[in-house]
């Protein structure tokens, strides 16, 4: 791992340090988890935006899926 310097304002640092998970896991571990979560949410948002851009015009999407509804089968209840 590589050490990095992160600046947090005092109120945020106090709130962070007051949490039980931070005391148990440590600041670094919690900040790593937060960074992973942020990156995951950003990637999801970027993927969603890309799909919206791709299908916004509706060009080709109807033709691409024509006939596929007859291909699926529902399981017997």
Tens of pLDDT, residue by residue over 15-72, are: 999 999 999 999 999 999 999 999 999 999 999 999 888 888 666 566 677 777 777 7
The residue count of the chain comes to 77
Q: Whole-angstrom Cα distance, residue 52 to residue 62?
A: 15
Q: How confident is the model at residue 5 (pLDDT cuts 50, 70, 90)?
A: very high
Q: Of 21, 46, 49, 47, nearest to 34 (Cα)?
A: 21
Sorted by sequence, the CB contacts under 8 Å of residue 22 that are 6+ apart come out as: 16, 30
Report the pLDDT value the prediction gives residue 73, as an integer from 0 to 100. 75
What is d(CA 53, CA 57) in angstroms, rounded to the nearest whole number?
Answer: 8
CA gap 65, 68 in Å, rounded:
6
């Amino acid at each position: 791992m590589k050490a990095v310097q992160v600046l947090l304002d005092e109120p945020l640092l106090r709130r962070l340090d007051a949490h039980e998970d931070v005391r148990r896991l440590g600041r670094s571990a919690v900040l790593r988890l937060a960074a992973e979560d942020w990156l995951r949410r950003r990637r999801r948002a970027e993927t969603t935006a890309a799909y919206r851009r791709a299908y916004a015009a509706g060009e080709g999407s109807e033709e691409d899926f024509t006939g596929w509804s007859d291909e699926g089968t529902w399981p017997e209840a």
